[in-house]
Amino acid sequence: MQLSLGMGDEPMINIIWVALFLIGMGYAAVNGTMDDVNKALFTSASDAVQICFGLISVLIFWLGLMKIAEKSGLLDKLSHLFKPVMKKIFPEVPPDHPAMGYILSNTIANMFGLGNAATPMGIKAMEELKQLNRGKKTPSRSMITLLALNTSGLTLIPTTVIAIRMKYGAEVPTDIVGPTLIATCCTTAAALCIDRYFYHRRKRKGRK
């Protein structure tokens, strides 16, 4: 899942996407490969629809398990288990603030590869952190840290990747679990280290 810092960066993203599209179309027109581009567009659109339908069953299954975990109290227990860790990662967020609850739910959903379930919670967490930041135009330390965690994406079970591998006939769709866990552990550790490094560097320069 990806989050924005809520600082009005959407127009710039739209400009970048339009620019990439126009550059690609222009390059294809100059090189006489417009037919290939049109074919790729329609083929990719068809493949995207098929992949979406293939993902529905797997996502419904895991979202159902998440709902069962929530109703049974398991999600609350997992939240309490990770709460001490999150308090150290987000020292500026009060432990009982709604933002902490959304951060915990977002993190747990991401760990199970449920980006669709994690996104609303991540957005709510960012909104709560923005309120704690008193509506300032510059992101707070906690907002940057949350974005870094979501970008690195610690994942225990890459649900979406497993579903795509099943769709394309992988012999062992779940053999991606181990490499994904190792890779995301490394990226999360790196993200937190880089986040802390730049925070302390800014602090030394007298900036909050």
CB 36 within 8 A of CB 183: no
Q: What's the pLDDT score for residue 101? A: 85
- Is 159 within 8 Å of 180 (Cβ atoms)? no
Asked if pLDDT for residue 1 goes beyond 60, the answer is no
pTM for this entry: 0.67
Distance CA(56)–CA(94), nearest Å, equals 37
Q: Residue 9's pLDDT is what?
A: 52
Sequence-distant (6+) residues with CB within 8 A of 5 are 126, 139, 143, 144, 147
Q: Comparing 195 with 42, which gets the higher pLDDT?
A: 195
Per-residue pLDDT tens for 150-196? 888 888 888 778 877 887 788 888 898 999 999 999 999 999 999 99
CA quadruple 24, 26, 28, 30: dihedral positive or negative? negative
The tokens describing 68, both together, are: 């069962």
Between the two ends of the chain, the Cα-to-Cα distance in Å is 27
| 24 has pLDDT over 80 | yes
104-120 residue pLDDT tens: 888 888 888 777 777 88
Considering only residues 11 and 18, tell me which one the structure prediction assigns the higher pLDDT: 18
State the average pLDDT for the chain.
81
- What percent of the chain shows pLDDT beyond 90? 13
What pLDDT score does 207 carry? 60
Which amino acid is located at 52 in the chain?
C
